[in-house]
Structures are given as C-alpha cells and as structure tokens.
Chains A and B, each alone.
Chain A
Amino acid sequence: MNSSVTSIKLVLLGEAAVGKSSIVLRFVSNDFSENKEPTIGAAFLTQRVNIGEQTVKFEIWDTAGQERFASLAPMYYRNAQAALVVYDITKPQSFIKARHWVKELHEQASKGIVIALVGNKLDMIENGGERKVAKEEAEKLAEEEGLLFFETSAKSGENVNEVFLGIGEKIPIKKPGEQANEQSGLRITDDQRVDLTNSVNGPVRSAGCNC
C-alpha cells in the first residue's frame, strides 16, 4: 500500500516543434503521432508513477504556445517543482534556446526546482539523420547548471520514462500530512483556502446571512 500521493507540478519548456508534447504523450499514454497538432483544450495532463513506496502524480503543464513571443506568464513557473527543458539534437538553434530557458528558470522559478535537460529525436540519428548537438556539450551544460540530462526519442519511447522517474527520485518527498488532502478532491491546505467548485456549503438561496 502506498502511504500517500505526492503531486508534482512539472512545466515544459523549449522551442516550438522540438517534441515537448510528444514526450508527454509518450509518457502519459504511451502513444506517438507523427504530425501532432499543438495541443488544444487540455489544461494539463496528469500521470502517476510509483517510486519505491511512494506514488508521485505529475501535473504536466504545456506552454500552450505562450512561449513563442516571450509571453509566458509568471503563473506558469509558480510553484513548479520540476521542469523539462527540451531541445532537438538535430537543431543547434533549439539548444541555444534551451540554455536561455535554463537561465530563465533559475531567475523565475522556485529555488529547489528540479530541471531535466532533454535532447529529443534520437530516432532521427538512428535512421541516418545528422546529429548537430554533441552529447558532451549538453552534458557539460547539465553539469554546470546542476541539471539531470537525458537523450530521448518520443517516437520510439526510448528513455522517456527514465526522465520522469529520474525527476521523481530527485524531488524531496513530503511526509504524509504535509500535503493537501488528495482524497477529498478539495484544494484546501488550511482553514481559509477555498475550493470554488465545492457546492457543499452553498450556494444557498436564503437569507443565510447571520447578521
């Protein structure tokens, strides 16, 4: 039996078309689609994984295209415990952009955030494509900045689960009781926080006012 579930907010960053959503789709539903349209209508995706005794629930936030014109809101980084910074190993420009996102995360995100640098599209090299970002170069960046580092293929699934397991292992697990009560479905962590969707207490059409 798992004693508790820890929720982890994970944000995705990286240039358009490097495969951010594909990595998540592979992780969440073990699926891949060749010409994936940008995701429409999903607030965020969730996936649970077991790490030892612990169940970790990833809440994965997609940029929804707001990174394109430097229009990501501070809300996006708010309370993120993990980030995937994704680049395409066949596109040097996307690696330059990845450096930028790592810097941005250090400035904007919470101090303890766990960042994984992910070079995607390994399958293209295995099929005769040319690698344009050396593994050593990425490893060097990861070491300097204290990042986890993986090379993946969302298409074949290679190394994708390892990224999330790696992150899950690195995030300090809270003891039961420190976490919001998950079973009730209410986002209440102290007496004054409220869940707007909770209709147990109301709305009441009466002079419920006690004045």
Chain B
Amino acid sequence: MDPESMDTEYDVIVLGTGITECILSGLLSVDGKKVLHIDKQDHYGGESASVTLSQLYDKFKQNPISKEEREAKFGRDRDWNVDLIPKFLMANGELTNILVHTDVTRYVEFKQVSGSYVFKQGKIYKVPATEMEAISSSLMGVFEKRRMKKFLEWIGSYEEDDISTHQGLDLDRNTMDEVYTKFGLGNSTKEFIGHAMALWTNDDYLHQPARPSVERVLLYCQSFSRYGKSPYLYPLYGLGELPQGFARLSAIYGGTYMLDTPIEKVDYNEQGKFQGVQTKLGHFRAPLVIADPTYFPEKCKSTGQRVIRAICILDHPVASTNNADSLQIIIPQSQVDRKNDIYIAIVSDSHHVCAKGHYLAIISTIIETDKPHKELEPAFQLLNPIEERFMGIAELFEPKEDGSKDNVYLSRSYDSSSHFESMTDDVKDVYFRVTGHPLVLKTRQDGDN
C-alpha cells in the first residue's frame, strides 16, 4: 500500500518497540483501539531487543573485527540472538499470565532454565530443586534446614482472612527482619531467602514491612513448583521474540507497524497537548502517545541508578554447574563486600541464541564505584576463560510526570532485576494512566484452534 493512501488518524501512537510498548500496543489493539506503532530503528525490540553478533560488534566495539575473522571464530551471524538486557520469566509471574491470556504463547516456545545458583564463600551452590537435593545440599546445616522448612510452611499456609495461620505476625506492621527472628533464622539463611528467593538486590527490605518480601518468596516457590528445575523460563531465539510476539498480536488486531522511521517532529496543540508526529512517511495524528524514554529525553529524569552489563561469550559451560545449558547465578552483595547483588544469566545454543558449542553469559549490577568494570571481577572469575566481552553502562530513566498534562505517556527504562515483574508493573501503570481503568486480562477469543 502506498504511504499516501494510508490512514493518518489513529487512537494511539506508540513509539519504540521494546517489550513494554509492544505489550501495551497489543492490549490496546485487542481493546479495539486503532494503533500506529513506530520505531526509529530497523528492527523490533528497542532496548529489549536480541541482536546478531555483527550488530553487537557495531554497537559495542569501536574497531569491529572483520567478517571473516568473526565467522571463523563464531560461525554464522544469523545463529546469534544476543539479548541486550538479561532477564528470565518467572514461571508463575505476571508476564507468563499476560502471554497465556493474550495467546502470544502461540508464537513463542519456552524452555525451563536448568538451575538457579547462589554464590557463597567463593563457590557456587545450586538452589535445591527437590527434597533430595535439599537434604544433600551443603548450603545450610541440619537444624537450619528445619527452621527454614517451618518458615516456608508458614508462607505456604498463610491465609489473609484466617488469623490462626498468621502465627502472630502482621505482614504490614512487622518487618521482614522480625519475621526472620520469629523463625530463628541465621544470617546466611536470611541472605539466601532475601537474595536468592525474594530476589532483592540489597538489604533495604529487612527493615521494611514483610508483605512484599513474603509475596516474592511465594512467587518464587510457586514458579519453582510449576515445572520443577528452577523458577525461570526462557524463550527460544532469545528475549527479542517477546516484543515481536506482542507486535504480531497488535498487528492481527489491526495495529499498523512502521520500523526504521525516525520521528522528525512532535506536534502539540495550543494547550500543549500531544496531537501527532511527523515522519518521512508523512504526518500522523492521535490524541495521545505512548513511548519509551529515548523518544522524549526532556520529559524523563534519572532514577539515580546506573547499571553495568557485560555480555560474555564462552566456549564452555560454567564450572561446577553439571554442564547446565542455562542458569542464573546470584552473587549476594555481602559475599563480595558490596551494597547490590551481581547477577549472571547464562543461556546457550540449546536456546538458539548462539552458534553450536557456545554459551552466552550476561553479568549485571548496579554501579557503586567509579571503576564499574572492576566491580564485575567476581563474576568474571566464575566464567573464565571468556572468548569475547561487550560492556555497556546504562543510566535508568523514569518519566517526570504521569502524562495527564500533555498526553505523553512514558514507560521506564528496564531495570537490573533478573525477571520481568517490574516491567509488567510498568505496563499496568502506563495502561492505567492511559485508559483510566486497571488492566483486566481477558482470554482471547478466536474461532480457530
């Protein structure tokens, strides 16, 4: 179809095809909104894309190696789908829920992540997945295991409306530290629960009300019990499949897609409200816009956090992991004298993200010093030898305002957490700001299949 003959009036314009924007685009199209979705780049995914090796070299290296050299070392470019931001799905988390309700599961296949590991005194230990593993695990002593069991039983049987299940604890008044004390849990168990299960990246939670921590532990346990090896899932061909899947959902419900289309100018009316954009394909109008922070830097502010990420290519599995094809390693802050945990996400050719025989490990943490690459040293030591590494620093942004003044509704940067729960919170937040009502997931109705 010619650009001239296309519609220029829409209900919503969405800028950027990161996963947050693609989910919103899909949900709004399903709601019957007429959506125009534009990306300035020539591929889907924005900051949450998976890229080929040549794209990765272009992005991170000043002097890219020659095509011949690259192919000799790493094989065909098209076999690589390298995530720019490392995350896994919680098997029982909200993204899984959205995928199932929207039927985007039809376009993406998932595998379990083989294991979750935690770093303790220089070594890594598997987070036990079965009772057998738990009994033989040297993570904690016999008595501590018993106390831990009591704690998990309390979480499992806790019913909000049945005070007899609360064992005298009030999730909104007692801090998590008080909960730990009640069950007599020692420091290393606290660290395990808070960092390897509740997935807090620092210790601030200890002195806050226990509810969010308890909910996180429960999500971890439910996700773990769903498929059995770890609480995490990962899509074949990389995380970049997720935005593509939701973009397809949007397109199937009438959404229009334009990649490789930079925004030349944003138009506002006399009241300062958004009314459209100018592009090489012409003017497009809509009463509101949804965008990631890169499209409106002047309307965003720094969260004060900067994240360093190092993408490492290995030609061997990680030591002491029983040759796992995929895993997470958490290095709790206290183990390496830091304030924030270091995460490592490892995937491999069995996920179709790299050429045969290779592994991809992405390290990330919140920067604490002026030598951030040095901060990753404990992680590099677990991964050595490393064939190639690509390092980048990202400042995290959030919108200054809620969008009601100018009808410009902005999402947040992708944070350093190891899963998508904060991203789906952001989706719900933007959805609420845009529509004025909370997101209610409905099961998609199609005639076929």
Which residues from chain A sit less than 8 Å from chain B, CB to CB?
16-17, 38-46, 62, 64-66, 68-71, 73-76, 78, 187, 192-197, 201-211
Q: Which chain B residues numbered 86 to 136 have a C-beta less than 8 Å away from chain A?
A: 91-92, 96, 99-100, 103, 105-112, 114, 127-131, 133-134
Q: Which residues of B contact A62 (CB under 8 A)?
A: 252
B residues within 8 A CB of A204?
A: 222, 225-226
Query: Which residue in A38, A194, A205 is a CB contact (below 8 Å) of B222?
Result: A205
Closest chain B residue, CB of each to CB of A63: B251
| A202-B225 in contact (CB<8A) | yes
- 6 tightest A-B contacts by CB? A207-B156, A208-B225, A209-B221, A64-B251, A71-B257, A202-B226
- Minimum C-beta distance from B217 to chain A (A): 8
Considering only CB atoms, which chain B residue lies closest to A37 in the complex?
B254
Kindly state whether residue B264 has any CB partner on chain A within 8 Å: no
Q: How large is the interface on B (under 10, 10 to 19, 20 to 34, 35 or more residues)?
A: 35 or more
Interfacial chain B residues near A45, Cβ < 8 Å: 448
| B253 close to chain A: CB less than 8 A | yes
Bound complex: CA A193 to CA B156 (Å): 27
Identity of the chain A residue whose Cβ is nearest the Cβ of B220 in the assembled complex: A209
Q: Are B106 and A194 in contact (CB under 8 A)?
A: no
B260's nearest neighbour on chain A, judged by CB, is A70
**A residues near B152, Cβ cutoff 8 Å:** 207, 209, 211
Known: A204-B225, A208-B156. 10 other contacts (CB 8 A): A43-B446, A65-B254, A69-B257, A69-B258, A74-B44, A76-B248, A196-B99, A203-B92, A206-B156, A208-B221
- The one of A40, A70, A73, A210 in contact with B252, judged by C-beta atoms closer than 8 angstroms, is A40
Give Cα distance in the complex from A41 to B252, angstroms.
Answer: 5
Per a CB cutoff under 8 Å, which of B106, B107, B112, B148 touches A192?
B112
Report A-chain residues with C-beta under 8 Å of the C-beta of B245.
75
**In the complex the two chains form, what is the Cα distance from A37 to B398 in whole Å?**
40
User: In the complex, A73→B237 CA distance in Å?
Assistant: 13
Q: Give Cα distance in the complex from A194 to B114, angstroms.
A: 12
Residues in A whose Cβ lies below 8 Å from that of B253: 40-41
Distance from A198 Cβ to chain B, minimum over Cβ atoms (Å): 9
Among B91, B221, B325, B446, the most chain A Cβ lie within 10 Å of the Cβ of B221
Chain A nearest CB from B229 CB (Å) reads 7
Minimal beta-carbon separation of B56 from chain A (angstroms):
15
Bound CA–CA A192/B113 (angstroms):
8
* Chain A nearest Cβ from B327, distance in angstroms: 12
Chain A residues near B148: list those with CB within 8 A.
Answer: 211
CB distance from B94 to the nearest CB of A (A): 12
Instruction: Determine if B252 and A209 form an interchain contact, defined as CB atoms under 8 angstroms apart.
Output: no
A-B contact pairs, 28 of them (CB 8 A): A41-B446, A43-B103, A44-B106, A44-B448, A44-B449, A45-B448, A64-B252, A68-B256, A69-B259, A69-B261, A70-B42, A70-B260, A74-B244, A75-B237, A192-B229, A193-B109, A193-B110, A194-B112, A196-B233, A201-B226, A206-B157, A206-B225, A207-B218, A209-B221, A209-B224, A210-B131, A211-B127, A211-B224
Answer yes or no: B153 CB below 8 A from chain A CBs. Answer: yes
B243 to chain A minimum Cβ distance, whole angstroms, is 9
The complex places the Cα of A202 from the Cα of B223 at a distance, in Å, of 9
> Residue B128 contacts which of A71, A205, A210 (CB distance < 8 angstroms)?
A210
The reply to whether the CB of B439 lies closer than 8 angstroms to some CB of chain A is no
Taking CB atoms, residues of chain A closer than 8 Å to B310 are none
Across-interface contacts of A71 in B (CB, < 8 A): 257-259
A42 / chain B contacts, CB cutoff of 8 Å: 252, 446-448
Does B206 reach chain A (CB closer than 8 Å)? no
Most B-side CB within 10 Å, residue of A38, A46, A68, A69: A69
Q: In the complex, which residues of chain B have a beta carbon less than 8 angstroms from the beta carbon of A206? A: 156-157, 221, 225
Contact for A194 among B155, B227, B254, CB less than 8 A: B227
B248 to chain A, nearest CB (A): 6
Distance of A39 Cα from B252 Cα, bound (Å): 7
